[in-house]
């Protein structure tokens, strides 16, 4: 229950064409884990959002719309000998921060996911904010430029079009500052960019600083909409580290009222494991703690 990862295995990078193979691989890998360890009592799964919890599918997955054809409840709800719990990745991430963080328990918490998309999970007075269909707090699809870049969700100027790992990768490719970047994953390209920033490369620094400013605009919205005690920046882009954090704190401090920002702690995720992976475990653990009778045969 401490969030310690016993083992982690990465599957091959998913593309639009390999989604069916990925689903099949999940079935195979999870089945093997269950066969090997009878002590496993539940499975948690974190998926990109917006995720319609009752319907079982995502409405938008940026740059990979094939995921919209997958119904996670149909695929996994009764596929294994133990229950499967599915949650949107940012909300899973905030559960992980709430349960596993060792830097002080916080009941008013926002987890700002900065990965291939941009997401937000919010715990308010100890309770996860869900919304009517489970799609609340979709920060990545709020407009920061009403005449801006088109988004796969149908909106324009969405925040994630300016500061997600995908968006940063697009700018790296356009600038031509990393020779092999078109062949890299979004994570690899971002990590290469962060390395150039550390080396003092001006173009790389300009790309990071622009993305950091947009991340800060998102923090301003989080402060004004949800008034959390703590905002945690996590996932791929948070790997930029202190430079990103300094820019975000500076801009947010100048755009949010003094009384609010002085009571808001903005920090980088300190979870030892990937927050989304930890979040998947947190989803299952939360269900176990909430309704333990579901996990045992008491007839």
Q: What is the largest CA-CA distance in the chain?
A: 67
Number of domains in the chain: 2
- Rounded Cα distance, 231 and 269, in Å: 9
One domain, residues 180 and 281: no
Query: What percentage of the chain's residues is helix, strand, coil (to nearest 5)?
Result: 50, 15, 35
pLDDT class of 111 with cuts at 50, 70, 90? very high
User: 236-256: per-residue pLDDT in tens?
Assistant: 999 999 999 999 999 999 999
One domain, residues 131 and 248: yes
Say which CATH number the domain at 122 has.
3.30.420.40
pLDDT class of 136 with cuts at 50, 70, 90? very high
- Rounded Cα distance, 137 and 144, in Å: 15
Q: Phi and psi at residue 58, in whole multiples of 5°? A: -90, 145
Residue 299 has pLDDT above 70, yes or no: no
The winner for highest mean pLDDT among 97-106, 181-190, 202-211, 270-279 is: 202-211
One domain, residues 79 and 203: no
pLDDT of residue 67: 85
**Burial per residue of 192-226, b for 16 or more beta-carbon CB atoms within 10 angstroms, e otherwise:** bbbebbeeebeebbebbebbbbbbbbbbbbbbeeb
Q: What is the mean pLDDT of residues 90-118?
A: 91
One domain, residues 110 and 244: yes
One domain, residues 121 and 46: no
Residue 45 is part of which domain span?
16-91+275-295
Q: What is the dihedral of CA 44, 138, 159, 252, to 10 degrees?
A: -100
Helices (H) and strands (E) in the chain, counts: 10, 9
Q: Is residue 243 part of a domain?
A: yes
Q: Is residue 8 part of a domain?
A: no
One domain, residues 129 and 247: yes
Q: Is residue 161 part of a domain?
A: yes
Q: Is residue 120 part of a domain?
A: yes
- Rounded Cα distance, 284 and 268, in Å: 24
One domain, residues 138 and 117: yes
Q: Is residue 248 part of a domain?
A: yes
User: 6-16: per-residue pLDDT in tens?
Assistant: 788 887 778 88
Q: Is residue 4 part of a domain?
A: no
Say which CATH number the domain at 36 has.
3.30.420
Q: Is residue 99 part of a domain?
A: no
Q: Which residues pair with 127 in a beta bridge?
A: 124
Q: Is residue 46 part of a domain?
A: yes
Q: What's the distance, CA 44 to chain centroid?
A: 15
One domain, residues 117 and 84: no
135 closest CA partner among 55, 64, 201, 194: 55
User: 171-212: per-residue pLDDT in tens?
Assistant: 999 999 999 999 999 999 999 999 999 999 999 999 999 999
Q: Is the pTM of this model over 0.85?
A: yes
């Amino acid at each position: 229950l401490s969030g310690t990862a016993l083992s982690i295995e990465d599957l091959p990078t998913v593309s639009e064409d390999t989604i069916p193979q990925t689903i099949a691989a999940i079935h195979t890998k999870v089945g093997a884990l269950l066969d090997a360890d009878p002590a496993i009592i539940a499975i948690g799964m974190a998926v990109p959002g917006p995720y319609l919890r009752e319907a079982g599918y995502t409405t938008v997955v940026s740059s990979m719309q094939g995921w919209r054809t997958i119904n996670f409840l149909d695929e996994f709800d009764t596929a294994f000998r133990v229950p499967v719990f599915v949650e949107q990745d940012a909300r899973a991430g905030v559960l992980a921060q709430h349960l596993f963080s060792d830097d002080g328990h916080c009941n008013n918490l926002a987890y700002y996911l900065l990965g291939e998309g941009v997401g937000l999970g919010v715990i308010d007075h100890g309770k996860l904010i869900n919304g009517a269909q489970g799609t609340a707090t979709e920060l990545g699809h709020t407009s920061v430029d009403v005449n801006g870049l088109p988004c796969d969700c149908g909106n324009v100027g969405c925040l994630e079009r300016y500061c997600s790992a995908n968006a940063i990768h697009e700018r790296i490719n356009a600038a031509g500052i990393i020779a092999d970047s078109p062949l890299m994953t979004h994570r690899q390209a971002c990590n290469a960019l962060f390395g150039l920033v550390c080396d003092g490369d001006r173009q790389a620094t300009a790309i990071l600083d622009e993305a950091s400013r947009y991340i800060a605009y998102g923090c301003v919205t989080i402060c004004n909409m949800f008034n959390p005690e703590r905002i945690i920046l996590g996932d791929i882009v948070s790997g930029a580290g202190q430079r990103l954090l300094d820019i975000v704190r500076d801009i947010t401090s100048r755009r949010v009222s003094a009384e609010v920002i002085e009571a808001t702690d903005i920090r980088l995720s300190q979870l030892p494991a990937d927050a989304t992976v930890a979040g998947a475990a947190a989803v299952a653990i939360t269900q176990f703690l909430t309704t333990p009778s579901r996990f045992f045969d008491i007839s």
